[in-house]
Amino acid sequence: MDSITVNNSGIISLQTFKDGFDGILSIAESGKQIPFDVKCTYYIYNLVNHESVVRGKHAHKSLKQAIFCINGSFTLSLDDGESKQEIIMDNHGVGVYLGPELWHTMTNFKNNCILLVLASDWYDESDYIREYGEFLAYIKK
């Protein structure tokens, strides 16, 4: 992942320590690597139809997120209403900042993919924009 060209997004590089044969430790700290205070953490795994499933398909009005692929890989598609970009998520120490008003989908899950998401607030259904046309109208306001 070289760069991200879509608005309200960016690359997040975690602090990573390689400990010889004892694995790799990656650290994500609020206010350092993560550009917001984390209030909610969730992960997605055991995708039964991993090759055909589409996750996401929404935007948020104010929520900020950091998304990581901690196992396997997937394709993250971003859309700010003007620019679109697809990013292959396969580096376990690098994630993507997803700001508000950013339509996103996740597809093409491979190799027992596990997604980790850090969010700036608790779950609130009223913050979601779940229809693409509604998203376009919302960001034009």
Beta partners for 87? 76
- At the topology level, CATH places domain 9-140 in Jelly Rolls (2.60.120)
Per-residue pLDDT of the chain (141 residues; tens, 9 = 90+): 678 989 989 999 998 988 888 888 889 999 999 999 999 999 999 988 877 899 999 999 999 999 999 999 999 999 999 999 999 999 999 999 999 999 999 999 999 999 999 999 999 999 999 999 999 999 998
Cα dist from 130 to 20, 29, 41, 104, whole Å: 45, 29, 21, 10
d(CA 37, CA 35): 7
How is 64-97 classified by DSSP, letter by letter? -EEEEEEEEEEEEEEE-SS-EEEEEE--TTEEEE
State the pLDDT at residue 52: 84
State the pLDDT at residue 1: 67
State the pLDDT at residue 50: 74
pTM here is 0.91
- The catalytic site residues sit at 58
State the pLDDT at residue 96: 97
d(CA 128, CA 70): 25
